[in-house]
Each structure stands twice: as structure tokens, then as C-alpha cells.
């Protein structure tokens, strides 16, 4: 049991509480940071989450190569009331992409691959799309490869669900996709699939798991002792802050990622460790120790039509209030994170949170507003975002006998999965891993499923023979009706 009043804390250890005490003692024994008028204002930004009954966040503020302030707010483990501290370990979601990009850049520096290599050189199981997909396309999100998060959702294994998926399953799933969303290089479309495949390339080229390669070549040389690619869902992580999401009826639920997939995500770290990574962009200590690696990391993408992109290698370049910025955001199950660097000011803000509804990007900019107030050349913009969503399509009435034409089993070779359709009352439904989903009729042969659309087609006799599914990140996914299926 932990009892606290003001700054005084009394810890009473009984039975299973011993583990909680050990973790708490370990997490609160490290460095603290000086407080100033500015840090008080920073604390006020996090006040809503600075309690003993909710998940929260930890902030790290870097200036000229050192941490000038860091503090945790809220709870890392709701089971034992363990507070979040600057030493807490959290997932950083898509911020992980820059670490796998650095692995690729190091292999390029060693001459073991080239950014312009066809990915099928290392991933021969991927289809020949008729247009070469290169490593550079993966790095800059211009490959056209379908989003794997959408694909696993379509087979009833959404991220964070009880149905996990493995790296091997994901490679097989992507290798079955016979179409791209667009011609490689023709446009930018952010996708996690590219960086997942980059991690697989690192594994195959280096001869060791991508997680081990990053450990040996990035984290250990930089002294990031609390950082790693978390590719073992069963691993025990010391000082880990667990991820949570708010429940509709109040309280929080624990979010767990049951997957060994890394590349697009997977890094766990602390704000104190992240300082070493931030500093390396100014003075590179990796690989041959030259600026060549950083130059590669900073090289922005370009479409085949000549459009320059803001996205480089796991890094996005932008500006805020007239100052140049670099960084990335991230989310993974119950975690969200933000890395915001102002390179010319040698100033960075890193926020890691274990609450999915937290908005780290907004608060990172507010922290910058405090510390760089006299350096901005533009007025502070309103942080309100246009939350207007496109109007949902209006449903049309369909009679039950008309809906019966769609009853049956439909198979997708690209998903290697079957959707079974049935009519319940006056609605068309399909089943996916034991759950029933009701479809919204939009026209004679078109139905809606959230923001997805199913467009059925018929044979020469007018019999429904299949449908295409458009899920935004997955376009024109084809399903064929199974005739005379044997169970």
C-alpha cells in the first residue's frame, strides 16, 4: 500500500505489494531536475493528468545537448498506483520508424544494400507489380503497398485485439497482395507496411534480427540502456508504464499489443534515453562516425513528377511559427508520443504518454511556446483543428428478398480469408471471427461498412458472383463467391 500526503510518502509492504514497492523504489531513485517559473508553467500544461487515478505522460525538454527539465505526470501502473517518472519505459509507436531507417542507412553505408534496390532482391516472395518498388519508395512512403493495419483489420485481427499476428504471418499477408494502391513513386501515402518490410530487409541483409542489429549498432553505441525494439510480447520490461485507453462508461482499460512486429513501431524507451538519440543528429557517433549517415537520414523524398516531400527517413520536416522543425509523432495501442526538434535552436521536446486519448503534439508545441517565446517570427496560431467529417452516405431501403441474393461465402485470395454473408431480419450481415457486422445498403449492389465500401458484381445471368472492397488504404480488394463449398 502506498500512502502519500503532500511531499511525504509512506510505503507499507504486504504480500504481493513487495513487487510494486521494488518497482516504485527503482523508478524514483534516479535524477530529478531543477524547477523554475517556466517549469511551473509546463506543469500546468499537464495538470489535468497529474493525479493518482489516471494514466498520464512524461515530458523531456532538451537544450544544447542536455535535459533542462523532465517530469512524469499520472500513473504508470493502475494496479499498483506506480507513478510515471522520467525513468519510466514507454512505447513510442511510429517514432520507431527513424530507428529502422537508421539501420537501413547504416547497411547502405556499409555497401550491403542501396536505396534504389528492388525490394524483391531481399523479399523475393513479394509480387512483381510490373513497376519496381525500391527501398527508397518504402523509406519515403511512395511505394503504393497496401496498409497492413487495414489488412489485419479486414481479417478480424485489428491492432490490440485478442487475435495477435506474427512477423511471418504479416510477410505472407503482404506477399499475397497482387495490386498496389498507386504506381510506385507517383505519390506520397503514409503506410506502416513499408517500414515493417524495411525491418524484414534489415534482418535478411544483416543476418541477425532487426532488433538485435539496432541494439548492437544504435542503442548500445549511444548509451541508450533503457531502449530496445520490443519484439517479444512476453518479455518483462523493468520500469514499464502500461498503455491504457479510456472506457465509455468511465475508467480505463489495459491495452496490450499481441504481436512481435517491429519496424513501423516497436521501440520502447525513456525520455532520458531519447536525449542521446536527439544529440546524435547534431554530432553523429554511429557507423563510420561521419555526417554521411545524418545526410541520408535528412534526405527528403520526391515523387516521380518532381514534387518534394516533407518526409525524409522516418523524420518529417516542417516549421512552427517561423522556426524550422523536425520530428515525428507516434501511437501504438494505449501509447502516444511526440518528438519535436527545433534544430537551429538546438531545442527539443519529447512527450511519451500511456493514455491513447492524450494529445502530445499539441502540448509539445505549447511547451515550445514557453521556451522559445522570444524567437518566433509568427504569431501563435489557434490549435483548434477542423474536426468536420465527411457526411456519411444515406442508406437506401432494401427488401429482404432482394438482400437474399447476397447470401453466401466469398473468398479473397489476397487475404486468404472468407466472409460469410447472411440476412438477419431486414439487414444484410457478415461474420468475421465470430462477430456479426451489419452492412448499410447504399444502392442496388453497394453496401457500406463504416468508411469502407463493398461493391458487388454479377455474372451474365444476373447472379451475384463476387464483390470488390475499398477500404481507403486497401483499394479494389477482390472477393469471389464460393460455389458448392464443402464444410
Mean of pLDDT values over 451-471? 93
Q: How far apart are CA 260 and CA 461, in angstroms?
A: 47
Q: Are 406 and 397 in contact (CB under 8 A)?
A: no
Q: How far apart are CA 320 and CA 339, in angstroms?
A: 14
Q: How far apart are CA 109 and CA 161, in angstroms?
A: 39
Q: Tens digits of per-residue pLDDT, 422-433?
A: 999 889 999 888
Q: Tens digits of per-residue pLDDT, 263-290?
A: 999 999 999 999 999 999 999 999 999 8
Stated pTM of the model: 0.86
| Domain 93-371 belongs in CATH node 3.40.710.10 | yes
* Residue scoring higher pLDDT (153 or 364): 364
Highest mean pLDDT among 146-150, 154-158, 343-347: 343-347
pLDDT band at 445 (very low <50, low <70, confident <90, very high): very high
Nearest-10 Cα torsion for 171, 173, 177, 181 = -80
The yes-or-no verdict on residue 115 having pLDDT over 60 is yes
Q: Are 411 and 480 in contact (CB under 8 A)?
A: yes
* pLDDT at residue 387 in the model: 42
Q: How far apart are CA 175 and CA 197, in angstroms?
A: 11
Q: How far apart are CA 24 and CA 5, in angstroms?
A: 16
**Closest listed residue to residue 376, CA positions, set 351, 341, 342:** 342
Q: Tens digits of per-residue pLDDT, 162-199?
A: 788 899 999 999 999 999 999 999 999 999 999 999 99
* pLDDT at residue 32 in the model: 81
Cα–Cα separations (whole angstroms), residue 229 to 100, 104, 277, 444: 10, 15, 14, 49
The yes-or-no verdict on residue 22 having pLDDT over 80 is no
Collapsed DSSP state (helix, strand, coil) of residue 198: helix
Q: How far apart are CA 380 and CA 73, in angstroms?
A: 26
Q: Are 430 and 421 in contact (CB under 8 A)?
A: yes
Which secondary structure element, helix H or strand E, spans residue 326, and what is its range?
A: strand 323-332
Mean of pLDDT values over 223-246? 94
The yes-or-no verdict on residue 21 having pLDDT over 80 is no
* pLDDT at residue 433 in the model: 82
Residues of each domain in the chain carrying CATH 2.40.128.50: 400-481
Report the Cα 46 to chain-centroid distance in Å. 23
* Residue scoring higher pLDDT (20 or 465): 465
Q: What is the CATH number of domain 400-481?
A: 2.40.128.50
pLDDT band at 23 (very low <50, low <70, confident <90, very high): very low
Burial of 261 (0-12, 13-18, 19+ CB in 10 A): buried
* pLDDT at residue 462 in the model: 93
Residues 6 or more apart whose Cβ sits within 8 Å of residue 271: 58, 59, 60, 67, 70, 86, 350, 352
Mean pLDDT, all residues of the chain: 89
* pLDDT at residue 29 in the model: 47
Mean of pLDDT values over 362-384? 88
Q: How many other β-carbons are positioned within 10 Å of the β-carbon of residue 153? A: 19
Collapsed DSSP state (helix, strand, coil) of residue 58: strand
Mean of pLDDT values over 220-237? 94
Residue in the block written with cell 542501396: 114
The yes-or-no verdict on residue 330 having pLDDT over 90 is yes
Q: Are 363 and 45 in contact (CB under 8 A)?
A: yes
C-alpha cell at 384: 483548434
Cα–Cα separations (whole angstroms), residue 343 to 56, 251, 466: 27, 39, 53
The yes-or-no verdict on residue 54 having pLDDT over 50 is yes
Q: Is the dihedral of CA 277, 283, 286, 291 positive or negative?
A: positive
Residues of each domain in the chain carrying CATH 3.40.710.10: 93-371
Amino acid at each position: 500500500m502506498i500512502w502519500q500526503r503532500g511531499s511525504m510518502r509512506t510505503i507499507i509492504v504486504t504480500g504481493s505489494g513487495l513487487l510494486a514497492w521494488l518497482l516504485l523504489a527503482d523508478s524514483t531513485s534516479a535524477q530529478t531536475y531543477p524547477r523554475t517559473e517556466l517549469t511551473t508553467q509546463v506543469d500546468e500544461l499537464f495538470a489535468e493528468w497529474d493525479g493518482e487515478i489516471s494514466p498520464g505522460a512524461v515530458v523531456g525538454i532538451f537544450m544544447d545537448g542536455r535535459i533542462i527539465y523532465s517530469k512524469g505526470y499520472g500513473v504508470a501502473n493502475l494496479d499498483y498506483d506506480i507513478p510515471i517518472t522520467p525513468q519510466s519505459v514507454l512505447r513510442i509507436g511510429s517514432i520507431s520508424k527513424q530507428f529502422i531507417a537508421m539501420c537501413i542507412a547504416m547497411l547502405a553505408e556499409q555497401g550491403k544494400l542501396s536505396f534504389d534496390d528492388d525490394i524483391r532482391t531481399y523479399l523475393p516472395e513479394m509480387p512483381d507489380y510490373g513497376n519496381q518498388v525500391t527501398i527508397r519508395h518504402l523509406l519515403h512512403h511512395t511505394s503504393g503497398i497496401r496498409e497492413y493495419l487495414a489488412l489485419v483489420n479486414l481479417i478480424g485481427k485489428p491492432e490490440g485485439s485478442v487475435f495477435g499476428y506474427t512477423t511471418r504471418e504479416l510477410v505472407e499477408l503482404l506477399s499475397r497482395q497482387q495490386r498496389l494502391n498507386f504506381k510506385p513513386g507517383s505519390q506520397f501515402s503514409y503506410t506502416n507496411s513499408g517500414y515493417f518490410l524495411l525491418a524484414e530487409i534489415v534482418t535478411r541483409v544483416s543476418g541477425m534480427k532487426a532488433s538485435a542489429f539496432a541494439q548492437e549498432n544504435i542503442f548500445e553505441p549511444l548509451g541508450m540502456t533503457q531502449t530496445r525494439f520490443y519484439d517479444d510480447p512476453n518479455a518483462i520490461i523493468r520500469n514499464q508504464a502500461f498503455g491504457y485507453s479510456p472506457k465509455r462508461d468511465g475508467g480505463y482499460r489495459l491495452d496490450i499489443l499481441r504481436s512481435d512486429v517491429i519496424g513501423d513501431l516497436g521501440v520502447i524507451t525513456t525520455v532520458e534515453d531519447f536525449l542521446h538519440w536527439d544529440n546524435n543528429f547534431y554530432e553523429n557517433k554511429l557507423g563510420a562516425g561521419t555526417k554521411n549517415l545524418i545526410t541520408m537520414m535528412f534526405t527528403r523524398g520526391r515523387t516521380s513528377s518532381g514534387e518534394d516531400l516533407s518526409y525524409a527517413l522516418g523524420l518529417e520536416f516542417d516549421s512552427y511559427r517561423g522556426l524550422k522543425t523536425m520530428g515525428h509523432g507516434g501511437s501504438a495501442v494505449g501509447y502516444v508520443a511526440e518528438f519535436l526538434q527545433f534544430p537551429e535552436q538546438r531545442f527539443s521536446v519529447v512527450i511519451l504518454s500511456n493514455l491513447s486519448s492524450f494529445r502530445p503534439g499539441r502540448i509539445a508545441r505549447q511547451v515550445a511556446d514557453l521556451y522559445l517565446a522570444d524567437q518566433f517570427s509568427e504569431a501563435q496560431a489557434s490549435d483548434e483543428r477542423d474536426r468536420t467529417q465527411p457526411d456519411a452516405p444515406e442508406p437506401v431501403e432494401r427488401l429482404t428478398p432482394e438482400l437474399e441474393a447476397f447470401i453466401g461465402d466469398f473468398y479473397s485470395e489476397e487475404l486468404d480469408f472468407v466472409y460469410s454473408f447472411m440476412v438477419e431480419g431486414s439487414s444484410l450481415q457478415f461474420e468475421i471471427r465470430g462477430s456479426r457486422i451489419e452492412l448499410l445498403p447504399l444502392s442496388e449492389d453497394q453496401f457500406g461498412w463504416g468508411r469502407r465500401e463493398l461493391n458487388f458484381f454479377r455474372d451474365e445471368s444476373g447472379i451475384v458472383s463476387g464483390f470488390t472492397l475499398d477500404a481507403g488504404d486497401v483499394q479494389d480488394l477482390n472477393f469471389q463467391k464460393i460455389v458448392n463449398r464443402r464444410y
